[in-house]
Each structure stands twice: as C-alpha cells, then as structure tokens.
Amino acid sequence: MLRVLSCITVEHSLPHLIFAIVICVLGSMLSMRLFTRVRRSQGLQKTNWLFLSGFVGGSTIWTTHFIAMLGYQTPVANGYEPTLTLLSLFAAVATTMIGFAIASIAQNSALIGAGGVIVGLGIAVMHYVGIAGYEIEGRLEWQTSYVVASLVLAGLFGAVATNRVCRPITRFCRHGAALSLILAIVLTHFTGMAGLTILPDTTVAAPAEIISDGIMTGLVSAVMIIILALGASTYIIDMQSTQAAVERYRHLSLHDPLTNLANRAAFNEHLSALVNKPKDMTANIAVLSFDLDRFKEINDVHGHAAGDTVLRAVAERLSRIMQNGQFVARVGGDEFVAVMCDYFRSDAKGLAQRMLDEIARPIEWNGHALTVGSSIGISTYPGQADTLDDLLSQADIAMYRAKSTATNSICFYEPSMDQAARERNALASEMREGLARGEFELFYQQQNDTVTRGIVGLEVLLRWRHPARGYISPVEFIPIAEKTGFIIELGEWVLRAACAEAATWKNPLRIAVNVAPQQLGDNRLPQIVHQILLETGLPAARLEIEITESGIIADHQHALQAIRRLKALGVKVAMDDYGTGYSSLSTLQSFPFDKIKIDRAFVDGVVTNKQSAAIVRSTLILAASLDIPVLAEGVENEDHIDFLRREGCLQVQGFLFGKPGPRSGIEAIVNGEVPAVQQETVLAPVVKKSAVRERQIAILCRS
C-alpha cells in the first residue's frame, strides 16, 4: 500500500495527476450515465447507446492512463510506439463495449457481474498493452504480486460498477457506479505502476519512430475533450428530449384530450394539495359541481360531433373566466368540477353565476344554435367534509338539489341534504328486497268515454307499500329505479302481474301499462311481452303499452323497430304525456301509435288558459287527421269534460271518475256483467267518428 502511495505522490507529476483525475471523473460519470440508457433501450437505439457508452468509457480509460504516464517521472528518455499505443485504445473501447453489452442484456446478477469483470480486465489489458508500447533507454522489471493485485482490483470494481447500474438499491447507486469505475481505472493503473521498476541501460536505444511526450499530451487531451464534449452533448440532448416527453406524457395523463381541461386525476391532485397545506396556510376552499342539461338530447339528435363541439365550446368559455386561485376540470362525459380558494360565499356564488351565464350562451354548429343549461352545487372546506371524497360528494348532493329546484340554479350544500341522499340510497338498496318480499302492488285508474262516461279501460299504476314508511309515491322511487337500472326488472314484474290479473277478469277491459325508456331500449322487450302474454293467457289486443317521447328520442330507430315488433304481436301502443316531448309532430308522423294521451298539465288549464286550450284543440285536430284516438289525462271537474266533449275528445282519465286504487276497489267492474252503456262505448268511436270530424272542421273554419 505504501509503495502505491509512493508511486502516486513521488513518481508522478502533480499537474498531470490532477488533469488525469478530472478526465477520469468526468468520463466515468458520463460513461455510467450512458450505460443506464443502454439498460432502458431496445433495438437499434440500444445499439447506439451501447456504442456511445463503450466508446466514451474506453476512451476515458485510455486517456487517464496516458495522461498519468505523461506525468510519470523517469531518469531516462522515453516515448510511445504508435502501433501498440493505438492498439491499447482499441482494446479499451472493445472490452468496455463487450462488458457493457453482456451486463445490459443479462437478467441475473452473475452475468451482470461478469460483464463488469470484462470491463475491469479490459482496463488492465489496455494498461499493459500501453506499457508495452512505452519505449525507454533501459529495461522494465515487474513484481508479480502488484500485477496480480491490479487485475483483481480491476475485475472487482468493474463488477461493482455494472451491478450498481443494473441492480440499484437506492437513487444514489448511479453515483456509486461511477465511483466504482473511477476506482477500477485509478487502482489498476497505480497498482500496476507500483510493481514496475525501470532499470536504465545505455546499451538500449529508443526506436526512432516514437511519439514524443509533447505530441502525446496534445493528442490525448484533444481527443478526450472532443469525445467528452460529444458524449456529454448527446446525453444532454437525450435528457432534454426525455424530460420533454415526460412532461408531455404527464400533461396527457392529467388533461382531457377533447377539451384540454384538467381531468379527474389532475383535479384530485390539485384539490389534495390545497387541502393538505399546513393549517396556518390552508385557505377556504369552495368546490363547484355541475353537468350539462340537454346534452344527451344534442348527442342523440345531432350526433356526437355536435356534442364534442358543445363540450369544447363550454370548456373554452370556462377556462377564459377562471381567475387566480380558480381551477376547472372535466371529470366525466358532460360533468365538470371547479374549485376556488380564499373565497367568500358571495365570491363562490358569483363564479357559479358567471359559469351559468357562459354555459347558457348559444353554440353555433352547422347552422344550428345549440343551447345547454346547468345547475351548480357548491360545497365548502373547512366545513362538514372530513375527506376529499366527502367534499366532492357534498358538491354532487347540492347539485342534485339545485337540479330539482330549477334549471340554471345554484345551491350550497347543507347537512340536511345528506339525510335526503341517505334516504334515496336506502330506498335503492331496499327496492330489490321489497320486490322479493311482495311489497309492491298494482293500482288501477279508470279510463272513461266522454259521452257515455262508461269505462273503456284501466291504467295500471305501481305503488310500494313499505313496511316502515307506508305507501311510497312513484315520484320518489321510480327515478331511483331508473338511475340504478332496477327499472327493467321492476317494469317486467309490473307487466307480468298486470297481465296475470287482467286475464282472470270476467269483463275483458283493456289495460294500459307504462314502459320506462330503459325498458324500451332493451332489445328483449318484445320477446318479454310475448312470453308474458303466452304465460298469462291475456289476449294481446287487451294490452296497451304506454311510452313517452323521452324513451323514443334516445334511439329513434331502435324505438321504431321495438314498437313495430310489439304491434306485430297485436299489442296496442300509446304515446303518453303528449306535448311535453322534444318533437311531437315528427314523432306522430314516424311512429304508428294507436292512441295519444294529452298530458294533465294542458288539460288543467283548458278552461282558464287560452294557450292550454289552443294546444289541446290543435292536438285533437291533428290526431283526428291522422286517425289516432286521443285520451286526455287529469280530468278533475265537469268543466274539463265539457270542454273536451265539445272539442271531440273521445276518452278521458282523471279524479272526476275516481282516484287510483288497488284491485279490491275495481272488483265490481272487472268481475260484473258489462253494462249496456259500456257495450255502447265499445262501438262509440266508430259511430261518432263522422260527428267528430264535422265538429273539428267547423273549428278550423272558425279559426
């Protein structure tokens, strides 16, 4: 050990040592950085990185050796034989490439270490080939122990270098790899030189064709500086490209590709950063949750291209009005969330109103002015929320409350809303159990002739007799069933139960059963209806399926095919809630309906409201021209029925003739003899058709 230290401090020039160490450190660090690229690459790119790392590493080994040799102080003249000097450079580069190649493709530690050993032994090969080209006026003597030690140290630290790159334990292993390569180069050189003794001999003359120290110094320095510069430049360019790619991938992973707004992941990250600030730095936070009303209708009517245009336009407008401390993200199809900090209640409401104003502005698309609306729910932190999920959930609850109030409304979360939400969730989970326990039952409401007042049919309605809450209105549980998808199972039960009961009646009255949009969208609906009719034995002509325009508009072509298949079975199909849909005139023209039911909202105002009367009157005229019977809902007094009778409406339904009731309330009707007046009712539409036409023609002439 003392001999090695003596060799370093006494036999070598300090300036040359410093220069050699600088080159060795820089070159080793760059070589191992380049080698990490080899491990991460594939194919041609891997080959390119392997060549560059091997060339820079071999050149570093060779340059360190010869700069140190240029500082080696000898008592005799010396020089360097060109062929062996260049051969030593080739040996260093080749063995480094081979060792790196083996280590880069190896999957186990033994082969990785073997690749490192080859790199280390390559250092020794380069050293002793270079010494063989070292020409002096004298003889060289070697101590075998130092030579063997240099070989062992070279292989050992070479193996450590590749192992730290390929099997990192901590993030500092890359620095350990560079340090190991530095030690392999330095210890191999100086341990080998410690075993060398130069014996001057004047009888030995140096060859004439040798490279002098001065030329060698300039050549080695220039070559290494160029190599290091090229290697470093390549590495820096690649690092910058990689960084740019990482930033791009991060942007893509945190942003919605359609609108370029932040996505759910980015929003959660941003909100988490705000909430998790130190308590003395945490500001008041408001979360605003909202989606787009009528967006689905735009998609269904105009196509997804129109829907995408709406989303991009809304996103651009929202981004434009965001100010410092405000952040907006698209977290779903048409769902958005915004957050603002350091707010007052009026600030949050002001931002919400600005967003509603921007959303409500028409959006131009292919000559159409598309309009959407929204309702915004707001939750605050610190507040009742303990977690981020609670905060977002509270904003959603407030949004649903705002939607139930009116379009374009704003609602702040209140703890009382949780109770309503919990009750809805409880109902959703209890509905399936309630159906299995027989808690659902059918109610019936009469449908009557306007002239004879005889019963022409019964509409089937659903009620839930909850064991704890008593009767629950369909207004409460039907929307929940639709949202959870349970409406398909529940609707099938209603159809089967209604047909089974009606099949047992002595009086063969027609029954009308409502079908939800999700049921109409189910490809199996005609098959299910057919199976139920076969199982119950109910004649198809006695079943009337009622659908709404919202069920048609979702998939116009599919709905038309389903209705045609139902009518092929002999089932009647009626349009329910006429006048409240999106395109009633075109719907009547396209779909083969057997009946139109005017919504109760229009019937209620026929006596006092000119607009309602005009709508009902025009509907009756239109239906008569299309030979479609009309039934008016919501008839509650004599004024209603008198108006409808005068205008030619043949059938009505409402509280004037009785409220919906269970089976027990209609026993006399369904099991008694059919009254004579009711038999007349069956023929009434045919007998009175010409009279109705005459009445409607007279109305048209007056108008």
Annotated catalytic residues are 633
Number of alpha carbons in the 13 Å side-chain half-sphere of residue 606: 29
> Quick one: CA dihedral 160, 161, 166, 171, positive or negative?
positive
At 261 the three-state DSSP class reads coil
Q: Which two tokens stand for residue 658?
A: 């009785």
Inter-residue contact 191 to 63 (CB < 8 Å): no
Q: Which two tokens stand for residue 258?
A: 């359609």
Which letter does DSSP use for residue 675 in this model?
A: P
Residue 618 CA to its chain's centroid (Å): 48
Mode of pairing for the β-strands spanning 572-578 and 470-472:
unpaired
Residue tagged 């989303």 (tokens):
311
Residue tagged 């500082």 (tokens):
71
d(CA 512, CA 518): 18
Inter-residue contact 27 to 228 (CB < 8 Å): yes
Query: Cβ atoms within 10 A of the Cβ of 633, count?
Result: 21
Mode of pairing for the β-strands spanning 595-598 and 572-578:
parallel
> Quick one: CA dihedral 539, 541, 546, 552, positive or negative?
positive
Q: Which two tokens stand for residue 495?
A: 């159809």
Q: Which residues have a Cβ under 8 Å from the Cβ of 326 and sit 6 or more positions away?
A: 338, 339, 340, 351
d(CA 489, CA 522): 11
At 605 the three-state DSSP class reads coil
The end-to-end CA distance of the chain, in Å, is 120
Inter-residue contact 648 to 624 (CB < 8 Å): yes
Amino acid at 321: I
Output helix, strand, coil percentages for the chain, rounded to the nearest 5: 60, 15, 25
Q: Which two tokens stand for residue 444?
A: 């019936």
Amino acid at 510: R
Which letter does DSSP use for residue 4 in this model?
A: H
Q: Which two tokens stand for residue 301?
A: 């009517």
HEC profile for 34-101? HHHHHHHCCHHHHHHHHHHHHHHHHHHHHHHHHHHHHCECCCCCEEECHHHHHHHHHHHHHHHHHHHH
Q: How far, in Å, are 431, 485, 560, 572, 581 from residue 521 at the CA level? A: 22, 12, 11, 18, 17
E strand or H helix at 3, and its extent? Answer: helix 2-10
